[in-house]
Amino acid sequence: MIKLCSFDVWNTLLNLNLMLKLFGKSLSELTGKSFENISEEIMRVRRDIKRLRGECKISAENILDYSQKLLAEKLQIDSELVKRATAKAVLKMDKNIVFEETLNVLRKLREENLRIIIIGNVMFWPSPYTRLILERFHVADYIDKQFYSDELKAYKPMKEIFLKPLKYFSIKPIEAIHVGDTREEDYIGALNAGLYAAWINPHGRFKKANEKGYVIASLENVPEILKEINKMSSYP
């Protein structure tokens, strides 16, 4: 029986592409560099960091500082401008940052009396900014607790970042499912930690991939997965 459902934030509940666009525009305004060149560099650095995280080659103690300084180095600017740009991006955003289906899905899960949490990595902006966005647009109203890599000193796909939140709620991995858009960090990471996992792949279709893994096309498939898991677990 599933007692806890955890979610990634960006590109799962919130629109990452919109945030990165606002971030890039803010950096362009602050530096005078072209938005196109800045956007390309942001995506290159993101790919590099995600690769290093997947290989667990970045210190979990300073993942945020490392990300900000790496982008600043690539753009040949002071890292203070990266920090300012993330703040400006948060101030510019509107309700479109929240995916249309997010609140509806969270409401449905709340009706099932599930614990709902966030397990999120950070990169260019710190977790308090994400917390602020979730509060401002009422997503946090449906979340019991939020856990981020800059706070836990661990990052996905490390087992620790999945297991520490479960320990907080005294819940076993087999009683939890994690939902996210990244195959390596969210899906494989959660499965390796012993949780059920659902990978949001808009180009795929809803299917059971293995004993505890699902591929879904949309966040809206999550309630359906939970019903299926709970139905199976009720068999003698």
| 236 pLDDT more than 60 | no
Give the pLDDT confidence score for residue 230 in this predicted structure: 87
If we measure between CA atoms, which residue out of 173, 216, 220, 174 comes closest to residue 198? Answer: 216
Q: Bridge partners of 118?
A: 7, 146
Whether domain 16-92 has CATH 1.10.150.400: the reply is: yes
Q: Provide mean pLDDT across the span 121-140.
A: 98
Convert the pLDDT of each residue in 168-205 to its tens digit. 999 999 999 999 999 999 999 999 999 999 999 988 77
Q: Return residue ranges of the chain for CATH 1.10.150.400.
A: 16-92
Residue pair 59/189 in contact (Cβ under 8 Å)? The answer is no
**Strand residue runs (E) in 38-162:** 115-120, 145-148
- Evaluate if residue 235 carries a pLDDT over 70: no
Of 32-46, 165-179, 204-218, the poorest mean pLDDT is in 204-218
What pLDDT score was predicted for residue 234? 59
Q: Where in the chain is the domain with CATH 3.40.50.1000?
A: 4-15+95-233
What mean pLDDT value characterizes the chain? 95
- Given this model, what pLDDT does residue 222 score? 96
218 contacts 199 by C-beta, under 8 angstroms: no
d(CA 222, CA 164): 23
Pairing, β 207-208 against β 213-216: antiparallel
Cα torsion 103, 86, 145, 155 to 10°: value is 120
**How many other β-carbons are positioned within 10 Å of the β-carbon of residue 32?**
6
How far apart are the C-alpha atoms of 57 and 55, rounded to whole Å?
5
Tens of pLDDT, residues 131-176: 999 999 999 999 999 999 999 999 999 999 999 999 999 999 999 9
pLDDT digits (tens, 9 = 90+) for 54-68: 998 899 889 999 999
Specify the CATH number of the domain 4-15+95-233: 3.40.50.1000
Q: Which residue has the tokens 């293995």?
A: 210
